[in-house]
Every structure is written in structure tokens, then in C-alpha cells.
């Protein structure tokens, strides 16, 4: 059996002979003798190997077939949002001192990273109006799923209610996490009575369709039944509207991508996780605390670690294996750069531009805004033709349209407008939609 030459396999013939000798095998044929010869090198219908230069050209050709968000107007949201990332963010996070996403176990040599995480926790609490936050989760969907499991631990109940306006993707992740624990998931309408032994009510704010939920009413419904209120929030919207904590929410999670992280084709992102201080011991993930050392100097340390690696398995509340330190740093830099007023200005731009777009689209013949209420940066449009056809027509003009939600709203298109969309782009979208009848 011979090994064909390839520039991607660094082992020389001498290297291979040395390895075979070390394991006591005379040849590759002997090494793979237990495998039928017909399967050693089966014929594969693939192109011949390319040089590095040719391979790079091939990949660039394939990449250029993508229509990404920064190549022109985009009105796609539904959980990942095209916001401006300040240049200072990438300049700082690419410094060698910070370029890691791993957990700083050794506090004595990780004070900078620990301080950043502490600032992330503090800023998250301020933004969402909550009492405690952890060092970050993998992303918003799994953070919400962990919140549901946490509510079950706190209440010792195993039913979870959710508003049917929750993101279908988030709902699927929650179902995946809770199913092995025998947790029953069920939808609940506003004002409806919860099933007995319900651990929590999950609500997205703004919801999947971009509209604000009545958190006050849902908070009362949950607490009157002895359940917790769990909110999956948009952190940018929290800079403009009342934060979830002001509605007496018990656990609030969020997708932090909007706070200075590029779209990156869907990840990696960072989940934000907060709760009331009385539930601190049931919070998953890690918490960084601030104290003083023996010389009275400020010091940071991992205060709470709830993973089975650190405590008895039966007491563990998390399986988070590493932190989101690098992405958390990007969030901290973004929030520190914009400040309270800057973040509010971003939120106001998103709100007003989205409403401007909706006001124009609502006047187009054949188009409707089927959902009433207050929305933030996303809204639903009912189209005269199937959204896939509408989006195809938009793409022909270099415009990325919205998300096809026809399974929720007949011919429904979920559009998103952020501060990145100019007035000309919005009016170009409206013109292009008007040509689709």
C-alpha cells in the first residue's frame, strides 16, 4: 500500500518508517490488514489536488458567490443583527494580552482578563436592570435554555410555559435542553391561567416578530402562580425601553451579539445571563468577584464556579466548559466606547428608521402590516406574493430582504432596520418592493 504525495501531509517516508517501527509494524499493509483491501483507497469522485495558490483562488471564487451583509443593503435580522462595530473594538481585542477566549483559572496571572469579565457582569446588570450576572454563556438561545432549567431547580417544578411569540429557534433549543429532564413545555396566551406546578413563564422582549410584550401582565401571571418570570431580551432595546428588571423579572438572558460583535455568519456569539441575587447559587456559568489582596490592592478572582469540574457532580448547575472572555471583552469595549447616551442613540436610530420603513411599506398597494402594537427594529409585512419570490426579486437588485415567516403569518416577511441602513437604502427597499406585485 503506497501513500500518494500531497503537500498537506507533512510526514516523509522516513517519518512513516520510524512510526511503524515504534509500534512494531513492518509496513502500512500490516497496519491496515484488518481492513478489507477494497476499502483502503476507494475511488473518490473529487478533483485532483490543487496548489496552495490555486486552492486560495478557488475558495475566493466560492466566497464571492455569497451576498454578505456589509456588501450592500440588508434588512435581515431575526436574532443576528447588523450593527456598527467601532474600529477601537477590533484594535483592542486583537492585542496579545487579550487574544484568548479561555477561562482564567489562575487569578494571580489573569487580573486583566478577570477585570474585563467583572466589568462585563457589571455593565450587563446595569443594562438589564438586574442584580447579578455571570461571566457569559455560549449564546442567547442556550442561555435561555439554561434559564429554564434554573427555574426548575429553584421552584422544584417541571413545567415551563412560553409565549408563542418566542423565536422558533430559541424554543427548539429550550426543548432540547429540557427534554432529558422530563420538563413539559407548553404555550401560554396573555391572561391565560398557568398549569399547576409551572416553574416559569418564558417571554421574548421584543418578541420574535419585533413587538414589545406586556411584561407587567406576564410578571403578575407568573408570580401569582408561584412561577418565575424569565425574559429573553434584546440588549439594544433595553437602552430605549424599560429594562426587564423593572418588571420584576427573576431571570433575564440576552444575545450579546448586537453589542459590538460582527455577524460572522452566525457565530461565535455570547449569551448574557442575569438573575435576582436570591437565586445566585442556582445560576449556571461562572462569576468573577472583586476583593483586596493581603496588601490592600484591588484583586479579581473567580468567586463562583458551578461546573462539575469544581464541585460535586450532583450539585453542579452548569456544564459550561470555558468562558466567553474574548467576546465579553468586545462587548465591554463597545459599551464603554458608546456609553449610556451613545447606546441610546443607536437604539433610537434603529427605532425611528424601522418605523420610517414601515410607514412607507404600509402605503404600498398589496402590502400590509398585519400586527399592531409597538415594535423596535423589526416588523412583519404581509406581501402580495410569497416572500421567497419577493426576496429573490430584491436580491436581483442587490438587496438582502427579510426572513420568510409564512409558517406564522400568511405571506409574512420579517424585516429588520438598524442604524446601518441609510434613508436611501430604506427608500430603495420600498421602491423595489413596490415593483413586486
C-alpha cell at 247: 418588571
Q: What value does the mean pLDDT take over residues 384-396?
A: 97
Q: Which CATH number fits domain 87-333: 3.20.20.480, 3.40.50.1000, 3.40.50.720, 3.40.640.10?
A: 3.40.640.10
H or E stretch at 61: helix 52-63
Question: What is the model's pLDDT at position 105?
Answer: 66
pLDDT digit string (tens) for 206-221? Answer: 999 999 999 999 999 9
Q: What percent of the chain has pLDDT over 90?
A: 73
**Model pTM?**
0.87
| CA dist., res. 286 & res. 109, Å (int) | 18
Q: CATH 3.40.640.10 in the chain, residues? A: 87-333
Q: CATH 3.90.1150.10 in the chain, residues? A: 72-84+340-434
- Which of 245, 37, 230 shows the shortest CA–CA distance to 151? 230
pLDDT digit string (tens) for 261-279? Answer: 999 988 899 999 999 999 9
Question: What is the model's pLDDT at position 311?
Answer: 60
Q: How confident is the model at residue 95 (pLDDT cuts 50, 70, 90)?
A: confident
Q: How confident is the model at residue 103 (pLDDT cuts 50, 70, 90)?
A: low
Q: Fold for 72-84+340-434, please state it.
A: 3.90.1150
Find all residues with CB under 8 Å of 104, minimum gap 6, and list them: 110, 113, 114, 117, 302, 323, 325
- As a dihedral over the C-alpha atoms of residue 156, residue 160, residue 166, residue 169, rounded to 10 degrees, the angle is 80
Question: What is the model's pLDDT at position 104?
Answer: 65
Question: What is the model's pLDDT at position 350?
Answer: 98
User: 273 in helix, strand or coil?
Assistant: strand
Question: What is the model's pLDDT at position 292?
Answer: 92
Q: What percent of the chain has pLDDT over 70?
A: 92
Question: What is the model's pLDDT at position 32?
Answer: 87
Burial class (CB in 10 A: 0-12, 13-18, 19+), 16: middle
Whether 1 has a pLDDT exceeding 60, the answer reads: no
pLDDT digit string (tens) for 123-146? Answer: 999 999 999 999 999 999 999 999
Whether 285 has a pLDDT exceeding 90, the answer reads: no
Amino acid at each position: 500500500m503506497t501513500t500518494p504525495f500531497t503537500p498537506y501531509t507533512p510526514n516523509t517516508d522516513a517519518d512513516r518508517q520510524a512510526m511503524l517501527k515504534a509500534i512494531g509494524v513492518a509496513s502500512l499493509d500490516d497496519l491496515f490488514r484488518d481492513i478489507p483491501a477494497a476499502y483502503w483507497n476507494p475511488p473518490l469522485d473529487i478533483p485532483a489536488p490543487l496548489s496552495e495558490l490555486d486552492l486560495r483562488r478557488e475558495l475566493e471564487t466560492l466566497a464571492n458567490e455569497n451576498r454578505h451583509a456589509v456588501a450592500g443593503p440588508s434588512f435581515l435580522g431575526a436574532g443576528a443583527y447588523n450593527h456598527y462595530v467601532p474600529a477601537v473594538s477590533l484594535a483592542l481585542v486583537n492585542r496579545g494580552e487579550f487574544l484568548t477566549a479561555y477561562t482564567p483559572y489562575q487569578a494571580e496571572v489573569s487580573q486583566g482578563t478577570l477585570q474585563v469579565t467583572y466589568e462585563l457582569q457589571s455593565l450587563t446588570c446595569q443594562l438589564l436592570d438586574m442584580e447579578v450576572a455571570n461571566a457569559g454563556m455560549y449564546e442567547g438561545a442556550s442561555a435561555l435554555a439554561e434559564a429554564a432549567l434554573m427555574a426548575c431547580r429553584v421552584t422544584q417544578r417541571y413545567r415551563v410555559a412560553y409565549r408563542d411569540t418566542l423565536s422558533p429557534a430559541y424554543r427548539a433549543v429550550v426543548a432540547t435542553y429540557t427534554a432529558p429532564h422530563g420538563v413539559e413545555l407548553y404555550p401560554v396566551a396573555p391572561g391565560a391561567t398557568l398549569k399547576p406546578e409551572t416553574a416559569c413563564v418564558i417571554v421574548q422582549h421584543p418578541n420574535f416578530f419585533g413587538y414589545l410584550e406586556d411584561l407587567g401582565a406576564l410578571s403578575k401571571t407568573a408570580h401569582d402562580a408561584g412561577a418565575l418570570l424569565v425574559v429573553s431580551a434584546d440588549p439594544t432595546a433595553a437602552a430605549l425601553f424599560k429594562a426587564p428588571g423593572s418588571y420584576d423579572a427573576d431571570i433575564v438572558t440576552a444575545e450579546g451579539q448586537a453589542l459590538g460583535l460582527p455577524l460572522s455568519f452566525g457565530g461565535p456569539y455570547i449569551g448574557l445571563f442575569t438573575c435576582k441575587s436570591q437565586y445566585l447559587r442556582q445560576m449556571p456559568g461562572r462569576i468573577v468577584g472583586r476583593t483586596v489582596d493581603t496588601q490592600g490592592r484591588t484583586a479579581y478572582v473567580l468567586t463562583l464556579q458551578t461546573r462539575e469540574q469544581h464541585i460535586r457532580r450532583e450539585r453542579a448547575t452548569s456544564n459550561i466548559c470555558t468562558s466567553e472572555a474574548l467576546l465579553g471583552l468586545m462587548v465591554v469595549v463597545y459599551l464603554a466606547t458608546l456609553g449610556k447616551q451613545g447606546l441610546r442613540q443607536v437604539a433610537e436610530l434603529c427605532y425611528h428608521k424601522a418605523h420610517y420603513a414601515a410607514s412607507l411599506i404600509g402605503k404600498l398597494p398589496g402590502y400590509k402590516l398585519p400586527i399592531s402594537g409597538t415594535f423596535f427594529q423589526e416588523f412583519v409585512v404581509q406581501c402580495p406574493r410569497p416572500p421567497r419570490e419577493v426576496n429573490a426579486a430584491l436580491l436581483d437588485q442587490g438587496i438582502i430582504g427579510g426572513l420568510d415567516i409564512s409558517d406564522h403569518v400568511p405571506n409574512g416577511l420579517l424585516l429588520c432596520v438598524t442604524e446601518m441602513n441609510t434613508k436611501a437604502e430604506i427608500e430603495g427597499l420600498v421602491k423595489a418592493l413596490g415593483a413586486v406585485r
